[in-house]
Structure 1
Amino acid sequence: MAIFRCNQCGYLREVPNQHIGKKVKCPVCQKVTPIYDTLALVKKLLEKYFSMQKEFLRLQKSLPATKISDDINKRGMDIFNTTAMTEQQQYQPILDWFKNKHIQLNVDEDAVDTTGFFDEVAVKLGDNYDLLKVVSDKIKHIQKKGYTNVTLYLSNYNQPEAALINEFCQELYEYAFVAKCFINRSQNKIHLTLQTAQPIVNFFNGEWLEWFAFMKLLAFCHERQMSFAGLRSFHIQFPNNDKNELDTFFLINGVMPIFVECKSGEFRPFIDKYVKLRKRLKMDKKQFFMLVLGLSDEQMQGLTRMFDISFVNEKTFVEQVSVSIVKQVSASIK
């Protein structure tokens, strides 16, 4: 069989061999398109694909981020306990990307140092947020009131849920996120004395979501052995001295930017700010995300249609990033 493929709308169908070489109108968009010999067309497409794949690998090897990301991708490298992300060679491609737009960066290298425990606790909380929010929300609420004691009641949870809450609270104590943790098994309660150190207060006040987004994207790149550069919680300055703080920014394969703004509370007043920032950075909507904690699927879809940025929640944003990368790669080989 021969094949008809419209180069304008992508319409595809098989036709009898006697039509090879003829030009006909596409039944969908009316674009005049030739009918191809299937084997000849497949051969040309494969040649083009392998040629572009070869060029992609060549360019990938020349990227300045490759050495650091290759080091991170080595077996045995613990992304939850490394200073590799703090090296300028790691984030130099991001500096260059912004420099090309005449934008200066103020990088806080401590914000990407994973030798502490902020990253582990953030991922544990984010991966189990539906359940563990009873802990984080209570801590945040009590912190704002200026108190230091929290009591969690476990009688309304089944055994696996109570065990996970218990385990999380003990980890908080082990990593000094709380000053004390007492488990009253007879009354099925957990008593926490809060840590008043400012970094811990900031963590529960929303910074944990930034750590969660950063580590999930870092793990995504690491697991797929991708070349990447990444930064968290840094400031940019435009030529007219306008300043913005960016929560999470990755540059995939040296060319594809991914931006994630994290909101653990009210987000609506900030939508227009980030719509304008996306346009100013000249980024694709599908690569510019507002991660809103607890946002429903219906809200994500509706808000993404309404505004020129993409809305995701803690469960979907990595999947959406992967979709963007696949589409980018697919577009490059068309």
Structure 2
Amino acid sequence: MPVYRCNQCGHVSESPVAGTQVPCAACQAHCTVYDTTFYISKLIERYAAAVREIKALKAENTTISEAEAEAASSSAIANPPKTPEPVNSPESPANLATAAQHAGIEQWLKSRQIEAQFDHSNVDTSGYFDEAAQQLGRSYDLFGELIQRVAYAYRKSHTGLNLDLTHSDQKDIQALTTLCRQLYSHTLFARYHYQKAEKVVRLSLQPAPKVRQFFEGAWLEWYALLELLEVLQQRQLVFSCARGVKVLFPNEDVHELDVVALPHGQAPICIECKSGEFRRDIDKYQRLRKRLGIERSRFVICSTDITDEQASSLSAMYDLTFVSIALLPRHLASIV
């Protein structure tokens, strides 16, 4: 049967006679009635034309996109991206003590809804703390007793101490007296005197709070930081580092991270430094590691009170990595 379509309202209906005009059944507007076969053929022609137009537009867009991609590729080849220069270099240690240098770690923690508080001066290597710490740490077997006695004297509010070296061999005496003299020259001791005949070193303690903190444990943090920085710089990596970072979790739990570094393109490394008892804190560190989402090999407990064998055993028992002070540099080199 013939059909019509109203140009006014779009209504479609049938009508008995083709080639006539009839009022629209919906809006009463005049509509021309067409033979059904003729009407369908015209619809097919319009549909085919629309399809050809769409294909032509798609082909044009593809050509433009390919041209843009080719231009971008040529530009990239002609102007390759510059590799970022490490801002943390041995030649510019003061660069570490800036907000910009700490920004990488801050952003990483923020992405986990963890607020961080930094004291930028904690990584300022322009003083003598770092140098002294590295000397103490790298010869801890020899200098460990000195550190322990100085820390004990501070805790007992003593103003000085005497080191009896009569039972030490000449090589160790020379190393100890040289160290004490250097620490005195760097103002870490208030007074140094060596009575050669009696083989006694007399030391007066420096009352400055930062020096006391250094001997009571901060020296180990400095040592861990310096050993970590040395590995990162040997690998020529860009990194963000911090010491003594206070972290606040969403549930308001507060913790402190002794040493943390974020090498570019790698996961963070966290080192907790223990110069005294640590066994009661093992569970706390396991939970902290999991909350931070750091893999066990990169969450390190460095203790002055364990041997390499004990460190290996503890690492097998818990979801943490334990290292002795002597093993720390080797472990850091294996994970960076």
Give TM class, smaller chain. 0.7 to 0.9
Partner of 1:113: 124
Partners of 1:321 and 1:188 lie apart in 2 by 39
Partner of 1:244: 255
Partner of 1:61: 83
Give the C-alpha shift of residue 190 in structure 1. Answer: 0.7
SS in 2 for 1:146: coil
Partners of 1:61 and 1:102 lie apart in 2 by 30
Unpaired runs of 5+ residues, structure 1, are 1-57, 326-334
SS in 1 for 2:87: helix
Q: Assess if the C-alpha contact under 8 Å between 1:177 and 1:195 holds in 2.
A: yes
Give the C-alpha shift of residue 149 in structure 1. Answer: 2.0
Q: 1:208 aligns with which of 210, 216, 219?
A: 219
Give the C-alpha shift of residue 134 in structure 1. Answer: 2.2
Q: Please, what is the CA RMSD of the aligned residues?
A: 1.7
Partners of 1:234 and 1:279 lie apart in 2 by 17
Partner of 1:168: 179
> Map of 1:316-327 to 2, 5 A cutoff?
316-325=327-336
> Map of 1:66-215 to 2, 5 A cutoff?
66-69=85-88, 72=89, 77=91, 82-215=93-226
SS in 2 for 1:300: helix
Give the C-alpha shift of residue 198 in structure 1. Answer: 1.3
Give the C-alpha shift of residue 178 in structure 1. Answer: 1.0
Partner of 2:74: none
Partners of 1:206 and 1:92 lie apart in 2 by 26
Partners of 2:322 and 2:155 lie apart in 1 by 28
Letter in 2 for 1:240: N
Offset from partner CA, 1:217-244 (integer Å, 9 cap, x none): 1112122322211111111111121111
Partners of 2:138 and 2:310 lie apart in 1 by 20
Partner of 1:226: 237
Give the C-alpha shift of residue 123 in structure 1. Answer: 0.6
> Map of 1:277-292 to 2, 5 A cutoff?
277-292=288-303
Letter in 1 for 2:132: V
Q: Assess if the C-alpha contact under 8 Å between 2:115 and 2:247 holds in 1.
A: yes
Larger radius of gyration: 2
Partners of 1:286 and 1:267 lie apart in 2 by 18
Aligned pair count reads 257
Letter in 2 for 1:95: E
Q: Assess if the C-alpha contact under 8 Å between 1:117 and 1:175 holds in 2.
A: yes
Partners of 1:140 and 1:59 lie apart in 2 by 51
Offset from partner CA, 1:6-51 (integer Å, 9 cap, x none): xxxxxxxxxxxxxxxxxxxxxxxxxxxxxxxxxxxxxxxxxxxxxx
SS in 2 for 1:180: strand
Partner of 2:76: none
Q: Assess if the C-alpha contact under 8 Å between 1:228 and 1:254 holds in 2.
A: no
Give the C-alpha shift of residue 59 in structure 1. Answer: 9.6
Q: Assess if the C-alpha contact under 8 Å between 2:143 and 2:176 holds in 1.
A: yes
SS in 2 for 1:83: helix
TM-score (norm 2): 0.73
Give the C-alpha shift of residue 67 in structure 1. Answer: 4.3
Question: Does the alignment pair 1:306 with 2:328?
Answer: no
Is the alpha carbon distance of 1:311 and 1:177 closer, same or farther for their aligned partners in structure 2, counting shifts above 3 Å?
same
Partners of 1:223 and 1:136 lie apart in 2 by 29
Partners of 1:137 and 1:169 lie apart in 2 by 14
Partner of 1:332: none
Q: Assess if the C-alpha contact under 8 Å between 1:93 and 1:254 holds in 2.
A: no
SS in 2 for 1:181: strand
SS in 1 for 2:282: helix
